[in-house]
Amino acid sequence: MALWSGRFEQSVDRFTQRFGASLEVDKKMYSQDIAGSIAHAKMLARQGVLSESDVERIEVGLLEIKHEIDLGRFKWDVNDEDIHMAVEGSLIDDIGAAGARLHTGRSRNDQVATDIRLLAKDLITSLLTENYSLRKVVLRAARKNFGTVMPGYTHMQHAQPVLFSHHLLAYFWMFTRDFKRLHDAFVAADANPLGSAALAGTTYPLDRHYTSELLGFDHPIPNSMDAVSDRDYLLDLEYACSVSMMHLSRLCEEIITWSTTEFGFITLSDSYSTGSSIMPQKKNPDFAELTRGKTGRVVGDLVSLLVTMKGLPLAYNKDLQECKEGAIDAADTLRDCMILMEGMIDTWEVHPRRMLEEASLGFTAATDVADYLAKRGIPFRKAHEIVGELVLYCEKHKVGLEDLTLEEFQQASPLFGKDIVGELDPEGIARARETYGGTGHDAVREQIREASKSLKRDRRQTKAILDKREAVRRQA
């Protein structure tokens, strides 16, 4: 019989029991559940609600259960609805009456909310750590390939030559914003619902500030009804994961394109590629594709929780049981995809000659040729038109701007001089864009300095979180 079976005359149907259970998913948060119970028990002792000896027994019993689960020796009972029932039921079996006093002034509603918040904080901490490593790898690649010029694109058409490092750093900054979003989700999760009981608080003199301190929460949540029914922090987490996956997916799309025969800008290492069962020559960027594909699932996790939450009245409703799986899935998927991306970037082979070759094709110097005229007094719009006609002329004659003679240039405008040749070199073009945030060498050097500063700042933030977690564990 379930722990709540007092007012029931029949036990639930086998099928409905399984339908209503969340034990399988909950197993991922057994250590959080046990930590929450120990904090609750310690607080009850300090407040004189439970005796010191009961709480000692409870703590020893809970730690023993944790040990058993850690080692995979714990006997899970399929009839347990969730992790809270499984742990408490086993504690009562092990230590008897003291165990049966643990649930004083507590409900599974504040218990589950506490567990998920603790779990979310742990998941986010590992995502912050991985985000940091990924950005380190991207920054390293930007430094290593400094000077390599590639075509920059708009509309997937050759636009202007850019440094490959500049292109990579664009992703660095996307991932930097992901860090902030994840960190914000951490802050949202970092509040303590324990002590809210079922929905209204309790008549026992609970000290919610003390359990907050024991569990490492920043503060107790000020409204018990909000505390048991709020899952916004999971939405924040899933949104942060979705955006980060979207960024990874965009990079994957580029990696897939760059490694085609047509582009040939990079070759992925064998360890990040797969073959074909029929075509012996194939080397496929499966893992980049899979990351792109998994993005859909993570976005689905976000949408699914939004829809679950919509229309829920206060306070706890069983619908909320559905919120865990997607959040864990989103975080696990993002973590794996970041690890994969790090390896992919760290081991790819870059082909600078191929990139440079493409960088001058497609009239990528056209803007600089127009600027050349504009700097000599022709209004830019007019210069744009002249160079547009030159490009048309080139297309008709199937040549590039660099193939034109000085006479041909001068037919378009007498202002062209011999030095126009200097404007056509893609390396020079990329180098010349020294505006802050541009692709010029000095501008990118400055960007690299800022990137490395942002990494240091974020490492300090992650370290503060890890240090606090360590301190809380040591004190426990």
Q: Which residues bind ligand ARG (CB under 6 A)?
A: 22, 82, 108-109, 112, 316, 318, 320-321
276 is catalytic: yes
242 is catalytic: no
Task: Point out the catalytic residue in the list 155, 249, 277, 452.
Answer: 155
Residue 110 near residue 197, CB atoms below 8 Å: yes
Look-up: residue for tokens 């050349």? 372
For residue 109, the minimal CB distance to ligand ARG (Å) is 5
Nearest alpha carbon to residue 123 among 325, 401, 355, 370: 325
For residue 64, the minimal CB distance to ligand ARG (Å) is 23
Those residues with Cβ within 8 angstroms of residue 427's Cβ, 6 or more apart along the chain or in another chain: 149, 161, 356
For residue 17, the minimal CB distance to ligand ARG (Å) is 12
Q: Residue 12: what are its φ and ψ, rounded to 5°?
A: -65, 155
Nearer to ligand ARG, 81 or 236 (CB): 81
Residue 314 near residue 225, CB atoms below 8 Å: yes
Nearer to ligand ARG, 69 or 338 (CB): 69
Nearer to ligand ARG, 82 or 423 (CB): 82
For residue 460, the minimal CB distance to ligand ARG (Å) is 35
Nearer to ligand ARG, 84 or 441 (CB): 84
Cis peptide before 188, with omega less than 30 degrees from 0?
no
Distance between CA atoms of residues 183 and 310, nearest Å: 25
For residue 330, the minimal CB distance to ligand ARG (Å) is 17
- Residue 120: other Cβ atoms inside 10 A: 26
Nearer to ligand ARG, 123 or 383 (CB): 123
- Positive or negative, the CA dihedral 90, 92, 96, 98 is positive
Look-up: residue for tokens 């092990």? 94
To 10 degrees, the CA torsion angle through 138, 144, 146, 152?
Answer: -40
Task: Point out the catalytic residue in the list 5, 53, 133, 276.
Answer: 276
CA atoms within 13 A on the CB side of 378: 19
Q: So which residues are the catalytic ones?
A: 155, 276
